[in-house]
Structure 1
Amino acid sequence: METINMSNENINRLIYTSALKLDAEDFKGFLRHCGESFRYAIKAYSPELGKEMTWLDHGRNGMQDLFAMLPQHVRMKGRFKRHVSVYSVDRQEDGQARAHSSVLLIHTDPEGNSKLFAAGQYFDVIDLSGDAPRLVERVVHLETRELGPGMHIPV
């Protein structure tokens, strides 16, 4: 598999742009940055259960269906903003890269009050074989385990 020489800047830009697309609720734009075999999962470790929990696990089609159903869900009022810091990018011999990032999700209610909503990490697998990097997998591992009702958009 031939890999185009992409800098870490291109990979970082993909991670940041994916967060901006989710902030803007531009879900079609988000999916344009994902490969055909894209997989998205949200996980958290439960000390009470002594094991990892999977809260969401969808392929690309499942994500498209989730995004299409969002207008019919009762949702939290206000906006979300993601703050992402890329810790590391490790290139693999198979034409992919693995990136590890920190993510903070801040919620601002309609009155303008902002609060930290969730904290976690992104574990991304990125395909480098095309003309632009594409997300192949994103596992969101949350530290926050109490999200409350009305949170239906991806972290």
Structure 2
Amino acid sequence: MMRDPEKTIGNLISHQKTAYLTSLDKDGFPDVRAMLAPRVREGIQVFYLTTNTSSEKVEQLRKNPKACLYFCDRRFFRGVTLKGMVEICEDPETKELIWEPGDTMYYKEGVTDPDYCVIKFTAFSGKYYAGFKVEDFSIEG
């Protein structure tokens, strides 16, 4: 049993460059995408990811905000799946929160580009896998 889920899982997440976001497609099947690691997070509950407003995943998440966010440490064969809800944020404050200067490579108009938005993922529970064991946990808000 994890002594301190916030510390154990937070440490795993902090060392990953990739996050895997799962949404549901139009037929109700899971659709997984690799994303850049969250630039901003609040503990192990709230994560902010950058993406294109015009993407299929945003369309899916607008229709059904239920999602999972997965992080894995391939070196030690550990991982965590977080279950939660998403919000598509297009307000200037949230967009500026995670904007980085190099993002103009993807969003030519800068932080105000209409094709730039933020996925705010808020977790309520998860599963942690390590040492050939799975442990369920809740996240208090």
TM category (shorter chain) comes to: 0.3 to 0.5
When normalised by structure 2's length, the TM-score is 0.32
When normalised by structure 1's length, the TM-score is 0.30
The structure whose RCO (Cα within 8 Å, separation 6+) is larger is 1
